[in-house]
Amino acid sequence: MTPAANRRAFLDALAFSELGMGLLSVSNNGYNVIVGSTPQAPILFDSYADHPRKSVWIPRIKDYSTAAGRYQVLEKYFDAYKRTLSLPDFGPVSQDRIALQLIRECRALDDIDNGRFTSAIYKCRSRWASLPGAGYGQNERSVDSLVAAYLRAGGEVT
């Protein structure tokens, strides 16, 4: 297994964690999903020219969120990463680059590249509320479900 394949599988597992298979299947693989979506009532955006900048009330956290895209990136973080990574838009390549930068900041890329999936998940839990142990009061996925998603996506675990 190559590090690139493990990274792609990790990104797929993150997307599964944040959105679930249902939303991934009724959207552009999650890249155009706005927070608050369900598979039965997806809220999708049409243009990747910019972050959709839609603020949605989320009852379970009793707050508004601007999370959007495959990795549910907040508007304020997109703005910062757009500058630092010189991103042209909020398209799929840009969203993947943001996710990889977040993973890099968590010091988890080496774990991913070398198949230490569980270690990488725990290192990244501060960035994604759906990861086990994140502690944001949102629905957290189980490690087992994430490992299964990672393996389905072609990742290798050591």
Catalytic residues: 18
Give the three-class secondary structure for 93: helix
64: β partners: 57
How far apart are alpha carbons 115 and 3 in whole angstroms? 8
Query: What b-and-e string marks burial along 5-21, b requiring 16 or more CB atoms within 10 Å of the CB?
Result: ebbbbbbbbbbbbbbbe
65: β partners: 56
| Residue whose structure tokens are 């599964």 | 16
Instruction: Report which DSSP code applies to 56.
Output: E
68: β partners: 34, 73
